[in-house]
Chains A and B, each alone.
Chain A
Amino acid sequence: MGKVIIDGAIVDNEWARLEADALEAGLPDGKVIVPLAYWQENRDTLMTRGDVAVWLAPGEEPKDLADDLSALSLVAIHFPAFKDGRGYSYARELRTRFAFKGEVRATGDVLRDQLFYLARCGFNAFEVREDRSIEEAVASLKDFTVRYQGDVNDPRPIYRQA
């Protein structure tokens, strides 16, 4: 079992993120994160299982999940390449527009140098790319102590921070 950072701690990763082709043979047991399209097709049966989560690819927005969020404990946002920054806005929307309280997980090309920003946008879980040290990555969450803007964790910009 791999490791994942959740709320600043390194813990065992209980969830498996599946691509569409891995689901052709059917849905495996255990905690799985499925693509949005698969979720939408099988929504009613998946809802009842309780241990199924959804991942969004770039171009798939939180609003596509709006009606289902209350049934989900985890939404993953996938980064095929770290340079595609759409996921930052998606996470923010999940938290602020849709008030999603569950886990928001970054998967894919997730690297320590992006972690601090990702956390500020509302991600609280990070599957760091496997060839990189997760211990070093977790340390980067403390790279900065000052922030000019408000963010998901503290909406107050610098001029409202006492």
Chain B
Amino acid sequence: MYVYQEHDQQLLNERVAQYRDQTRRYLAGELSEDEFLALRLQNGLYIQRYAPMLRIAVPYGLLSSRQLRRLAHISRTYDKGFAHVSTRQNVQMNWPALEDVPDILAELADVQMHAIQTSGNCIRNTTTDEYAGVNPKEIEDPRPWCEIIRQWSTFNPEFAYLPRKFKIAVNAVPDEDPAIIGVHDIGVQLVHNDAGETGFQVWAGGGLGRTPMTGAVIGEFVPWQHLLSYLESILRVYNKYGNRDNKYKARIKILVKALGADKYRELVEEEFAELKDGPMTLTEAEVARIQACFTDVEYRSDVDTSELDALLADNKAFNRWYHTNTRPHKQAGYRAVTLTLKKTGRVPGDISDEQLDAVADLADKYSFGEIRNSHQQNMVFSDVAASDLFALWQELDALGFATPNLGLLTDMVCCPGGDLCALANAKSIPVAESIQRRFDDMDYLHDLGKIDLNISGCMNACGHHHIGHIGILGVDKKGKEFYQVTLGGRGDRESKVGEKMGPSFESDEITDVIEKIIGLYVEKRLENEPFIDTYERIGMDPFKEHIYG
């Protein structure tokens, strides 16, 4: 992973000092609420329903075991002993005291971590495929490009007060969208041209939230040297012309839609003409320096896989886990293993301080000391030798992270919702739990196959409900909690926004509704047909009729 040089560390230290002083001035009454709001948000600090929430940046989801242990320590010392993996691959602490945040930042800076730009109207954490670098389908490792974007976006002076938040994602897999770039403010697709040179197809104007839509291609092929100049051009147009009067119309998607992709492209080209070949142009040396940080895993070429087949044949539970929670790897003899943080009864994405420590130990033992957070709120050991899988499975099982439900109905994505979040219209965690309890038969879940279920407590869509095959959205009706269901969203092969099924449901109805939807799918599916394919084949009407008819 990227290792800080002296200047990176220096920057973080200066940031901690700056934020410490800002907090001091706020507490001394020298900064108004509103002024401090903008400053603390640029630092990931929200004031939530019951306490502040601190969102800690995990660049493109990648963590070292040392960093994970530090998060464990912070959650133990400054919080209530658990952390939450967010859908943007970050980590959230739900109960820190505002006064303690400068100390927390100092603890983070010590392990090359921070909370810079994890909220506020600025460029947020750049995300990518959680299997980046080991995914056999990718054309090259997207993480160096993410890191290049991270550095460019960190404290970028021109784009700290944008009309609204701004999210960038990078994907290097052709014909699939594991980073859901289609629904990001900017989506960057790595491509190779006919000459084999690296470039980027750049999308802009996708997004979830109140007006969900997929983005448009703005740059068809941006050569790698010009990645940052091109991104800067897109941002400058947005900074100048994005709507600042109405926060619901302020995202770039509204601007791209209003101007049309062609006009937007024209404005970008104008800026780009000026920046292209200027000092921002990336150098081969810099790209090579950053790439070298991501090729430091020393794989063994002599992994003994001979016992694995026998173990798989003998042990049904291990076999199921292997086929559900592990996946192929670029390197022969290795697998990528996902730790599912979705055991029934546990808040999706939550992990305790002791578990964080335990996961860090396992990462050291089995996966080169690295961990990734996934946007589905799980964790990944990206580099596990096949000969270690059985032992790892046993250890994960003891920790409760080997529930073989990856990608299945109960592996749901769920925002913190009304239990914690001040913006929520409705609770989301109890809904997730109720559905998990209803679908508690692992054989049945496997029979149902891959189904993405996403739950958000309000229109802000932190639970990415629009891209769930089944999406659940909390809405407020005259002070009561209701739930609206969407079907047909996708965040897999492509990014696609789901369609509203109809009137919303009360909290005691929603689990029955999900069961009915699943029931109809089972009735209508062809052999081996996944839920989303059945939906795309038969459409919304039969579901509507079945539920409301």
Contact = CB atoms under 8 A, between A and B. Distances in A.
Interface stretch (B150-158, B506-514, B531-539): B150-158
Contact of B22 (A113, A151, A158): A113
B10 interface: yes
Given A85-B162, A159-B286, A145 B236 contact: no
B283 A149 contact: no
Contacts of B121: 83, 85
B161 A83 contact: yes
B36 to A, nearest CB: 9
Interface in B1-40: 7-8, 10-11, 14-15, 17-18, 22, 31, 35, 38-39
Interface residues of B, number: 40
A85 B161 contact: yes
Interface stretch (B62-70, B274-282, B294-302, B479-487): B274-282
Contacts of B151: 148, 158
Nearest to B237: A89
Q: Which of A85, A92, A97, A116 has the most CB of B within 10 A?
A: A85
A156 B154 CA distance: 15
Contacts of A117: 155, 157-158, 160
Contact of A92 (B158, B279, B280): B158
Given A113-B22, A143-B18, A83 B38 contact: yes
Q: Which of A96, A150, A157 has the most CB of B within 10 A?
A: A157
A149 B232 CA distance: 11
B387 interface: no
Contacts of B282: 159
B14 A116 contact: no
A96 B22 CA distance: 32
Contacts of B244: 58, 84, 86
Nearest to A156: B279
A89 B158 contact: yes
B7 A158 contact: yes
Interface residues of A, number: 36
Given A113-B22, A155-B278, A146 B10 contact: yes
Interface string B234-254: 001001100010000000000
A121 B157 contact: yes
A74 B511 CA distance: 65
Interface string B59-89: 0000000000000000000000000000000
A104 interface: no
A95 B107 CA distance: 39
Interface in B156-202: 156-163
B310 interface: no
Contacts of A146: 7-8, 10-11, 14
A79 to B, nearest CB: 9
Given A89-B239, A146-B10, A84 B161 contact: yes
B313 interface: no
Contacts of B35: 82, 111, 113
A82 B155 CA distance: 17
A85 B152 contact: no
A78 interface: no
A122 to B, nearest CB: 10
A120 interface: yes
B171 to A, nearest CB: 23
A89 B11 CA distance: 23
B67 to A, nearest CB: 21
A43 interface: no
B58 to A, nearest CB: 19
B285 interface: yes
Interface string A88-127: 1110100011000000000000010110111011000000
Interface in B309-336: none
Q: Which of A97, A113, A160 has the most CB of B within 10 A?
A: A113
Contacts of A49: none
Contacts of B286: 159
A145 B161 contact: no
Contacts of B278: 155
A107 B226 CA distance: 34
Interface in A60-98: 61, 82-86, 88-90, 92, 96-97
Nearest to B238: A89
Contacts of B152: 148-149, 157
A89 B240 contact: yes
B276 to A, nearest CB: 13
A97 B278 CA distance: 13
A82 B276 CA distance: 30
A149 B159 CA distance: 12
A145 B14 contact: yes
Contacts of B22: 113
B241 to A, nearest CB: 9
Contacts of B7: 146, 158
A123 to B, nearest CB: 10
Given A85-B162, A97-B274, A159-B282, A149 B156 contact: yes
A147 B155 CA distance: 8
13 contacts: A82-B161, A88-B157, A92-B158, A111-B35, A117-B157, A144-B155, A145-B10, A146-B11, A149-B280, A150-B280, A157-B228, A159-B286, A159-B289
Interface of B: 7-8, 10-11, 14-15, 17-18, 22, 31, 35, 38-39, 121, 151-152, 154-163, 228, 236, 239-240, 244, 274, 278-280, 282-283, 285-286, 289
Given A117-B155, A144-B18, A149-B157, 20 more contacts: A58-B244, A83-B38, A85-B121, A85-B162, A86-B239, A86-B244, A89-B158, A90-B240, A113-B31, A120-B157, A121-B157, A143-B18, A145-B10, A147-B155, A148-B152, A149-B280, A156-B279, A157-B279, A158-B151, A160-B283
Which 8 pairs, one residue from A and one from B, show the smallest C-beta to C-beta distance? A85-B161, A159-B286, A117-B157, A120-B157, A146-B11, A155-B279, A148-B151, A88-B158
